[in-house]
Structure formats: C-alpha cells, structure tokens
Amino acid sequence: MPIVRVKPGVVRVEPRKLSVMERIYFPAIIGGMFVTLRHLLRNLFNLKRLPIISYPEVKRVYSERFRGRHILTTREDGTTRCVACYMCSTACPAECITIEAGEDERTREKFPVRYDIDLLRCVFCGYCVDACPEDAIYMTGDYEMAIDTRARAVVGLRDLVVPPNFPVEPMGWRPYYGSLEKKGTAGGTGIGQPLRPASYPDDAPPNPDVYRGT
C-alpha cells in the first residue's frame, strides 16, 4: 500500500487504484491462488510443522504458569497445608471458594473441614494462589474439566487435596517457580482431620442463588 507522509508523526495510506489487468479480475484471482498454492505446497511437504494440534490425541504444551484446576498441597505427614485463614476466599473476585474451618482436637490448629471451589464460577485469575500465605493452593496445568451436572462443578477437599509427594514440577500457577526453598511456618499438623466430599450429591439441587423463575 502506498504511504504518504502528511506531517511529522502522521502518514496517510493511499487507496490502491486497480489497474486494467486487475480490473478484469482473473489475473488477481490467479495471483491470490498462487499465495494459497504456496501455502498448500509448503504445508504438504512439511506436514510436521503444520500449525494444527490434533486434540485430544495431541495436546498443546502450556507453560509452567498455566492457570488450570486448583490443588491443595499437603505437608510431608499428609495433612493439608491449608489453615482455613479465608485469605483465598477473600481475594477471590468471583466468590467461588467456600471454606468452613475446624479445629484439630490434639494440636488446637485450624484446618478446613470444608473447602469447596465452584469451578463454574471460578475465573481462573490465580488470585487465590497469590493470596495464600501458607503455600497451600496451587493451580495445575489441567484444563479438561468437562462435567455433566452443575453439582459436579463444585469440587471439595476430596478432589483438591493431593498426596504429599505430588510432583510440583509440571504444575501451573504457583507462588514461585522452583527458586525458593520454603522455610518453616507456624503450621500445626492437623492429624486426623476428617475429609468431606463436595458439598452437593450429584442429584441435589444446584446452586440456590441461581434464579430460575417463580
């Protein structure tokens, strides 16, 4: 496209006048066909570099910062790191985290009796991870969260808590990326905590906040 400088910092794009050859249409079409043909041949002889991902057989490689489904990490003794401080649910802009705190009989430590994330409300912004002072919530690279009922979208401790030696390396959004060694925090052990599944059984009425007529 011809460019004309009008004044400093401003250029004018001149519309292209079609020549007679272009106006009879076929040469331009053939020129366009050449571009398409070039792409076709280049792709045909270079099938491996096709910009196509045959999902689900092949999956895109995401970075280690990917903000996917959450997990709750555990200490070495198997208890959840979460101390039910409500920071994540306070920071959550979508208000999708519901926590109920309990107290461990033996250690007098707080721990979550219920920790539900409504994945249909969640916007995957990562604010819960940023807000956590206990290194307890991470996001994973898992982005396949298809469900068939609304109730299944609410994941509880049963789904979120991972075993202590869960590999963190291919993980998603987390406070730091392998550079820092976590020093001890004032956390209890929380041994013997009861784990509760997601709040709703699958056939229970879904989120009561949703208006569905009178």
Partner 1 sequence: MSTLTRYSAIPYTGPAPTNREPYVPTDTQKMDARGAEIASRIGAEQETGQDLPTLVVRRERIVETLRALKNDLTFTMPLDLWAVDYPRRRQRFDVMYQLYSLQNNERVRLKVPVADGEPIPSSLPVYKGFDWFEREVWDLYGVRFDGHPNLRRILTHEAFQGHALRKDYDPAQRWLCTEKDVAALVPKVDPRFERVDTDFERVTLNLGPSHPATHGTLRIVVILDGEKIIGAEQEIGYLHRCFEKSCETHTYQQAIPFTDRLNYMSAIINNVGYCMTVEKLLGVEAPERAQHVRLILSEFMRIADHLVCIGTNLVDMGALTNFWYLFQPREEIYGLIEACCGARLLPSYLRIGGLAVDVPPNFLENAQRLVNMLPKYIDDVEKLVSRNKIFHDRVVGVAPISAEDAIDFGFTGPCLRACGIPFDVRKSNPYLGYETYDWDVPIAEGGDTYARYLVRMEEMRQSLRILQQAIDRGLPSGPVIIDNPYVALPPKEKVYNEMESLIYHFKLIMHGIQPPVGETYFQVEGGNGELGFYIVSDGTKNPYKVRCRPPCFAIYQAFGQMITGQTIPDAIAALGSLNIIAGELDR
Which span (8-16, 74-82, 111-119, 191-199) binds partner 1, by CB under 8 A? 8-16
Nearer to partner 1 (CB atom), residue 123 or residue 195:
123
Distance CA 105, CA 49 (A): 60
Mapped onto helix, strand or coil, the DSSP state of residue 21 is: helix
Distance CA 206, CA 27 (A): 62
* Contact between residue 73 and residue 137 where contact means Cβ atoms under 8 Å apart: yes
Nearer to partner 1 (CB atom), residue 36 or residue 203:
36
Binding mask 108-147 vs partner 1 (x if CB under 8 A, - otherwise)?
---------------xxxxx--xx-x-x---x--------
Structure tokens at 82: 């979460």
From 69, 173, 193, 200, residue interacting with partner 1 (rule: CB under 8 A): 173
Size of the site for partner 1 (CB under 8 A): 56
What sign results for the dihedral spanned by CA atoms 50, 51, 57, 62?
positive
**Among the residues of the chain, which ranges form H helices?**
20-23, 26-44, 87-91, 127-131, 157-160
Interface residue list for partner 1 (CB under 8 A):
1, 3, 5-6, 9-16, 18, 22-23, 25, 28-29, 31-32, 35-36, 39, 51, 62-63, 65-67, 87, 90-94, 123-127, 130-131, 133, 135, 139, 172-173, 175-176, 180, 182-183, 185, 211, 213-214
